[in-house]
Amino acid sequence: MFLKHKPSSNIVEVMDLEALFDPFRTDFKGRFHAGEEMQDPMGFHKTDMLFLSGEHMPRCWLDRYYKERKI
C-alpha cells in the first residue's frame, strides 16, 4: 500500500499494514519512494499521511475511541 506524506508530498510504501490499521498505534514502518535507490525503512506518524487521492486517513485507524465519540 502506498500513501502520501503530507509534509514532503513524497510517496511512502507502507511496510507494516497491521500497525497502520491499529488505532492504538500512532506510528508505522514505511519507506519513501523517492530517488533511484531503495530507501531505508523508517517510522512515520499516521497523522502525517494521506491517501494518494488526497483523502484523509479513516478515523478508525487513528482514534482508538472512534466508536464512543460523536462526530
What is the per-residue pLDDT across 2-57, written as a single tens digit (0 to 9) for each? 999 999 999 999 999 999 999 999 999 999 998 788 889 999 999 999 999 999 99
Q: Would residue 71 count as lying in a domain?
A: no
Cell of 25: 498505534
Q: How many domains does the chain have?
A: 1
Is the residue at 67 inside a domain?
Answer: no
Cα 51 to Cα 39: distance, rounded to the nearest angstrom: 20
Q: Residue 68 domain-assigned?
A: no
How many alpha carbons lie under 13 Å from residue 19 in its C-beta half-sphere? 13
What are φ and ψ of residue 34, in 5° steps?
-145, 140
Strand partners, 13: 2, 31
Residue in the block written with cell 507494516: 16
Q: The whole model's pTM is what?
A: 0.84
